[in-house]
Amino acid sequence: MLSNYEVLALLREMDEKQREQAKINPNVKFAENLKTIQFEVIQNLSSSESPSSTQTPEQIETTLTHLKNYNLTKSEKLQLINLRPQSIAELELIIEDCEDRFGMDTLRELIYIIGTNLPMPGKVVRCLESGAEFLDDESMTFIHYPLEQLEHQL
Amino acid sequence: MFILSVLKDTIHIQPYDFHKHKFDALTDEINRIYANKVIQDVGLCICLFEIISASEEIVHYGDGASYAKVTFRLVVFRPFIGEIIEGTVSSNTFEGVKVTLGYFDDILIPTHNDDGWKFDHETQVWVRLWDSQIPETNWKSPEDKYLYMYMDKDTTIKFRVIEEKFTDIGTKGPPPKRTGAVAGQKAPMPSSSSLPSDVMIVGNNRGGNTQNVKTDTTTNAPTGGKLVPYELIGSIAEVGLGLTSWKWD
């Protein structure tokens, strides 16, 4: 199984090679169906809503290392990377029987891992203290950092 | 959403491609034949991932092209059952909501299977009904019983894949023309059918037969309904699914 990011990287690499070939030989033509599917998949996976547009191999690797300690199936880990859930509700969709398998604290930890290792530009996750009963919803709170500040850190 | 499938096939390399390095020629040929095509029980092929092995090229009597038996891995689009996918609503039809991913259009969320759907005739869209949290005593009108999720066109929607359907509808025609023709000469097409008849699937075979047929676009069934080679059936019946703009608190 491949993550969306891997497919995106592969297609972008192919695109680069094709551009180089086109520079050497301006008359070279590529198969239409290949160009079509390439263009459409790249467009779909690199749109601003797609998590794979901002991922790097290092981020995915660190996420997987952190996720090793939890008893997750391969398809669940793949979906966590592809979909980048931001709340417990989204996590419940991906993980089967998640209330039986994990406690609330573990689920919060998972969201924290995903939020810190696969970040959305402009958002930072802060881990909720467990036992915070006064909060109505159990999702993580997000602190919005302006993008310029993040760029200094990167 | 994407998997790697191992396939075996006999690839022809035409003489005007002999100047290419062997693996480049095989790569281009495999991409030309398989990109954007559905193979039954495998999925929608995107592109070549890697060539595992290729035999020596043989040239047959009476034909200038060389033939090589190649085993290779393809990147295939095939979501597993139960996977959550984000797509865009493309249209509202009689059977339900059609969702598209850009490169794959044949996703349907049927609306006749359960009672949580209503068709709004003013806007001509399907509406998903969710129980509103307002207690019965506070209802201002009977409509307050539900919250309404309108399946407007071009909105992002998250759904779960609950079924996949492969239909063998035959081929629509030969693969796209070879583009390596020497200027001024017509590209010779192989005398055998454009379909490799000995396509074999190794490894990821999910119980399909070994004779696989490639199909790329839809054809019209005699009844007037469109037949598609690969279709996904989705559902948004769970909390958290549906329009991504919906607030789930």
Chain A nearest-CA distance from B121, in A, is 31
pLDDT at B244 over 50: yes
The predicted structure's pLDDT at residue B192:
39
Of B247 and B164, more confident: B164
Categorize the per-residue pLDDT at A122 as very low, low, confident or very high, splitting at 50, 70 and 90. Answer: low
Low-confidence winner among A65-69, B29-33, B53-57, B131-135 (lowest mean pLDDT)? B131-135
Taking all residues of chain B, what is their mean pLDDT, rounded to a whole number?
79
Size of interface A-B (CB pairs under 8 A): 88
Where helices occur in B45-159 by DSSP H, the ranges are: none
Residues B83, A4: C-beta atoms closer than 8 Å: no
Q: Looking up tokens 């992002």, which residue turns up? A: B156
Contact between B46 and A30 using a beta-carbon 8 Å cutoff: no
Q: Could you tell me which of B219, B169, B173, B178 has the C-alpha nearest to residue B194?
A: B173
Tokens at A104, concatenated: 């609330």
Query: Do the Cβ atoms of B47 and A11 come within 8 Å?
Result: yes
Q: What is the pLDDT of residue B248?
A: 74
Q: Of residues B184 and A3, which shows the higher confidence score?
A: A3
Q: What is the pLDDT of residues B88-110, one digit of tens each?
A: 999 999 889 999 998 999 999 99
Residues of B in contact with A51 (CB under 8 A): none
The two three-digit tokens of residue B26, written as one number = 């095989």
Q: Which two tokens stand for residue A127?
A: 């881990």
Q: How confident is the model at residue A123 (pLDDT cuts 50, 70, 90)?
A: low
Q: Which residue of B has its CA nearest to A92?
A: B240
- Give the CA distances from residue B201 to residues B8, B52, B68, B165, in Å, rounded to whole numbers and listed in that order: 6, 14, 17, 19
DSSP 8-class letter at B238: S
What residue of B is the nearest CA neighbor of A8? Answer: B2
Residue B158: its pLDDT value, please?
A: 92
The alpha carbon of residue B55 is apart from the nearest alpha carbon of chain A, in Å, by: 24
CB contact under 8 A, B238 and A10: no
Q: What residues of chain B lie within 8 A of the CB of A11, using their CB? A: 46-47
> Looking at residues B38-44, what average pLDDT do you find?
92
> Would the CB atoms of B176 and A31 count as touching at under 8 Å?
yes
As a whole number, mean pLDDT of residues B206-212 equals: 38
Nearest CA distance, A72 vs chain B (angstrom): 15
pLDDT of residue B83 exceeding 50: yes
Lowest-confidence region among A13-27, A88-102, B91-105, B197-211: B197-211
Whether residue A130 is predicted with pLDDT greater than 70 in this model: the reply is no
pLDDT of residue B98: 93
Read off the tokens for B142.
């009977």
For the question of whether the overall pTM of this predicted structure is more than 0.80, the answer is no
Q: With pLDDT > 90 as the criterion, what percentage of chain B qualifies?
A: 37
- A11-31 pLDDT, tens digit each: 999 999 999 988 988 888 888
> Which listed CATH number (1.25.40.20, 2.40.50.140, 1.20.1250.40, 3.40.190.10) goes with A54-153?
1.20.1250.40
Residue with tokens 């790329």: B216
Is the pLDDT at B197 greater than 50? The verdict is: no
> CATH 2.40.50.140 in chain B, residues?
83-168+227-243
Name the residue facing A93 among B32, B102, B238 (closest C-beta): B238
Closest Cα in chain A, distance from residue B2 (Å)? 5
Alpha-helical regions (H) of chain A: 4-24, 32-45, 57-67, 74-83, 88-94, 98-101, 104-117, 147-153
In this complex, which of B3, B80, B249 lies closest to A137 when CB atoms are compared?
B249
Q: Looking at residue B60, what is its pLDDT?
A: 86
**For residue A7, pLDDT beyond 50:** yes
CB contact under 8 A, A1 and B83: no
Residue B203 has pLDDT above 60, yes or no: no
**Confidence bin at B64 (pLDDT 50/70/90):** confident
Tens-place pLDDT, residues B130-161: 887 777 777 777 777 788 888 889 999 999 99
**Residue of higher predicted confidence among B211 and A15:** A15
Which of the residue ranges B28-37, B117-126, B173-182 would you say has the lowest mean pLDDT?
Answer: B173-182
What is the nearest CA distance from A57 to chain B, expressed in angstroms?
Answer: 17
Q: Which CATH architecture has domain B2-77?
A: 2-Layer Sandwich (3.30)
* pLDDT at position B194: 42
Is 90 exceeded by the pLDDT of residue B116? no
CB contact under 8 A, A31 and B101: no
* pLDDT at position B188 over 70: no
Nearest to B35 among A6, A33, A43 (CB): A33
What would the mean pLDDT of B168-194 be, rounded to a whole number?
56
Contacts of B102 in chain A (CB under 8 A): 40-41, 43-44
Give the mean pLDDT of chain A. Answer: 78
Report in angstroms the alpha-carbon separations of A130 from A57, A103, A125, A140, B135.
Answer: 31, 11, 15, 11, 30
**Residue B29 and residue B12 in contact, taking contact as beta carbons nearer than 8 Å:** yes
CATH 3.30.1490.120 domain position(s) in chain B: 2-77
Q: Can you give the pLDDT at residue A124? A: 54
Chain A residue numbers with beta carbons less than 8 Å from the beta carbon of B35 are 31, 33-34, 36-38
Q: Would the pLDDT of B27 be above 60?
A: yes
The CATH number given to B83-168+227-243 is 2.40.50.140
The alpha-carbon gap from B157 to the nearest alpha carbon of chain A, in Å, equals: 12
Task: Determine which of A143-147, B135-139, B162-166, B179-183 has the lowest per-residue pLDDT on average.
Answer: A143-147
Chain B residues whose beta carbon lies within 8 Å of the beta carbon of residue A89: 239-240, 248
Please compute Rg for chain A using Cα positions.
19
Nearest CA to CA, how far is B217 from chain A (Å)? 12
Residue among B164, B133, B152, B153 at smallest CA distance from B42? B164
CA dihedral A37, B216, A28, B25 (to 10 degrees): 100
Instruction: Give the number of residues written for chain A.
Output: 154
A6-10, A53-57, B80-84, B186-190, range with the lowest pLDDT: B186-190
Residue B113 in tokens = 């299977």
Q: Tell me whether residues B86 and A33 touch, CB distance under 8 A.
A: no
